[in-house]
Amino acid sequence: MSKKPIVIGVAGGTGSGKTTVAKEIFYQFNEQSIVLIEQDAYYKDQSHLSFEERLETNYDHPLAFDNDLLLEHLQMLSQGKGVNKPVYDYKAHTRSNDVITIDPKDVIIVEGILILEDERLRNMMDIKLFVDADADIRIIRRLVRDIEERGRSIQSVIDQYTSIVRPMHLQFIEPTKRYADVIVPEGGQNRVAIDLMVTKIRTIIEEKAIL
């Protein structure tokens, strides 16, 4: 790979469908030339804290993320160098000892709730998407995910949503919508928007002649 890769940012609130949109775009391309990087993998290491202290982590705040490392990895990938993406352990509430090796690709999709909040990350992106969905849809999706995938109780999810997730969304995530090149309503259900994005990305790839 000789030229700088295309970097696509896919942001949106929790449960908005941003992960679905990112994966749908990913699957439209040859997996040999595209990679999907989740901002969630870059939550800060908390091994220096006690388990009780880790439980107090506000995962919806910009300071929860190690954007310095994410930025460094994106820069390395842009220079044709491989990186070791961290793996976050949600049960231990800290970074695990595992890593996932990511090789340089022609297209990089970066997906996460706050990827448009950091100006440094925005400046690396060729296309910025914000996936939008009504609040009631987002809370239902989060409820299902946290219960099924993370073993949470209904009450704990509701408490966290009302005390942290909703206020953080209004304060930090929703305002980043103004930085988006394209706003995608209805998340992964919006086939038209996804198809348009895929077409646009293909056009950029052809223009850069990197495939």
pLDDT for residue 63: 96
The CA distances from residue 15 to 83, 102, 166, in Å, are: 28, 26, 12
Place of tokens 């295309």: 6
Task: Indicate the DSSP class of residue 179.
Answer: G
Whole-angstrom distance, CA of residue 128 vs CA of residue 27: 18
The per-type count for the chain, helices as H runs and strands as E runs, is 8, 7
Is residue 74 within 8 Å of 9, Cβ to Cβ? no
Task: Indicate the DSSP class of residue 210.
Answer: -
- Dump the DSSP string for 82-139: -EEEEEEETTTTEEEEEEEEE---SEEEEE-TTTTTSHHHHTT-SEEEEEE--HHHHH
Is residue 1 within 8 Å of 205, Cβ to Cβ? no
What does R_g of the chain's alpha carbons equal in angstroms?
17
Binding residues: 12-19
Nearest-5° Cα angle at 45, 41 to 48: 160
Whole-angstrom distance, CA of residue 199 vs CA of residue 14: 26
Is residue 183 within 8 Å of 177, Cβ to Cβ? yes
Task: State the angle between helix axes of 191-208 and 18-27 in degrees (0 to 180), rounded to the nearest 10.
Answer: 50
Residue numbers in the chain where pLDDT is lower than 50: 1, 211
Whole-angstrom distance, CA of residue 96 vs CA of residue 178: 34
Whole-angstrom distance, CA of residue 142 vs CA of residue 170: 16
- The architecture (CATH level 2) of 6-201 comes to 3-Layer(aba) Sandwich (3.40)
Binding residues for ATP: 12-19
Is residue 125 within 8 Å of 181, Cβ to Cβ? no
One-letter amino acid of 85: K
pLDDT for residue 30: 66
pLDDT for residue 32: 62
The whole-model pTM stands at: 0.90
